[in-house]
Structure formats: structure tokens, C-alpha cells
Chains A and B, each alone.
Chain A
Amino acid sequence: MTETEWLLEQAQQLADAATDYGQRAQLLALADFIQAQATRLEQAEGELDGRAWDHERW
């Protein structure tokens, strides 16, 4: 299981257990943030890798 998958699972479990609607809704919506953060991390890592492996810059 990746860290992102673990985070999504945790958020879902906490949402399922929440008794307050506002807290539950926030935890459900947290999945969007987790995904967006994961995408940004992947893009930033990819861009850095791409630059490191660009032979024209060696």
C-alpha cells in the first residue's frame, strides 16, 4: 500500500466513524486534498528527475 492509499483509507475510516456531520464532511472532502497533494508531489519529483536526466544540461 502506498502512503497516498494509506492516507485515503485513514480519511475514509475516520469519516465513517465521525458522528458530527461537519467533521465527517471535512474528512470525506480531505480525499481531494490528499490526491491533489500526491499529484503535486509526483509532478515536482518528475520535473526534478527530468531536469537531472537532461543530458544537454550535463
Chain B
Amino acid sequence: MKTLIVVGHPDLDGSSTQAFLQASAAGVPTAQWHPLTLNVAAERQALLAAERIVLQFPLYWYAAPAMVQEWLATVWTTRFAQQLAGKSLGVVVSLGRPLRDFHPGGAVGVSLDALLSPFAALAQTAKMTLLPPLAIAQFAYQIDAQRARLLVQYQQYLGLTVPSSFSAQAAWWQTQLAQQPQAALLAETLATRQARLESLRATLAEVKGDD
């Protein structure tokens, strides 16, 4: 699956979050890192060539930065959007506040889903499949283990048709570990356990079918 990462950050070179994501994306051969431009023909060509489009930006005053809005208005016209039907749309958003603030009654008072609802409308209008957003809260404060988890989540977000599918994640790990020969025994044991899990689930489905 070919993925286009449309990056809209007003200070891309100064962002440690984006630098981390760019390095992580380099581990996904099917993903293309693409800071947005207003070259309409080139942008449209890149969008049409992708199967998944990921819009990636920091949240500024609870919305995408102005450059993303301008890009959408210039490149992503209603007519052009019709040509994007069937593709998937992802949103990777970085936040300066903790996720717990984004709830009714929380410090922001509104959920992140509510703030990102224009993208749901966009996907629906363009007949695209919307992925749940990948939110990165306070990257600067994240410890090593959190960043490791983020790297994997992001790579799966870019590369898996259904990133939340556990069996797809299991298969993804097999592909990744195959590139690390020293992890061969680990990979084999994980694969055996996954096969046992799927067999157990099949048996359970049969048992439930008999009820």
C-alpha cells in the first residue's frame, strides 16, 4: 500500500516531533514523506498516486494550521476530491497538551474527535475511508519507552490497511523481525503463539456457533 504523508508544519525544520516521525517513516518503504506545497498539479499527482493519504500537522488553537487549510482550499477542491474515492485518509496530529485535557469537562472542554470532525466530513464527502486519528501528545516530554511505542504505532499507521487489527499487527511484526536475523527464534515463537491464538479463536467460534 502506497502512503503519502502530507506534512503541514509552519516550522518543519524546528520540530523535534516531525524529525522523529520522518526518521520513523523512513522505516516504511511504501510511505513517502511529503511536506505540502501549493503546486497544485504536483500535489494532485502525488495524491492520486497514493492509496493512503495521511495529513500530518500540529494542532494550533484547536485546528489545523492555516497552511493546511490553504492547501486544502487550493489543492483539494470538491471536484478533485471525487477522484480520491476509495482511498484511505489518516490524520496524525501533535498536541501541546496531554490527551486527558481533550474531553468534555477537561481543560480544553472538547474532545479531540470533535475538533477533528472536519476531516471526517472531508473523508465522507470524498468517499474515503477514515482511519481513527493518531494523536501525539506532548512529544517533548515523552520518555524513551513512549517514543518507541510511538514509532511502532506510526509505522503501523502508515503501513497497515487496518492498523488496529491484531492479526495484521502480528503479521507486521513477523515482517519487521525477519529483517533482524538475531531475532529469528523470538519471531518463530511469536508466530507459533499467534497460530495457537487463531486456532483457539476458530474453536471458540465453532463452539459459539453450536449454542
Contact = CB atoms under 8 A, between A and B. Distances in A.
Interface string B180-205: 10110110011001101100110110
Interface stretch (B70-78, B82-90, B146-154): B146-154
B61 interface: no
Contacts of B186: 7, 10-11, 14
Interface of A, secondary structure class, is: helix
B197 A25 contact: no
Interface in A28-58: 28-30, 32-34, 36-38, 40-41, 44-45, 47-48, 51
Contacts of A40: 166, 197
A32 B173 CA distance: 12
Contacts, number: 78
Contacts of B207: 48, 51
| Most A C-beta atoms less than 10 A away, residue of B23, B26, B183, B207 | B183
Interface residues on chain A, size class: 20 to 34
What 3 pairs between A and B have smallest CB-CB spacing?
Answer: A28-B148, A25-B148, A44-B200
20 contacts: A11-B186, A22-B24, A22-B26, A22-B27, A24-B148, A28-B148, A28-B149, A32-B149, A33-B173, A37-B190, A37-B194, A37-B197, A38-B193, A40-B166, A41-B196, A44-B197, A44-B200, A47-B204, A48-B203, A51-B204
Interface of A: 3, 6-7, 10-11, 14, 17, 21-30, 32-34, 36-38, 40-41, 44-45, 47-48, 51
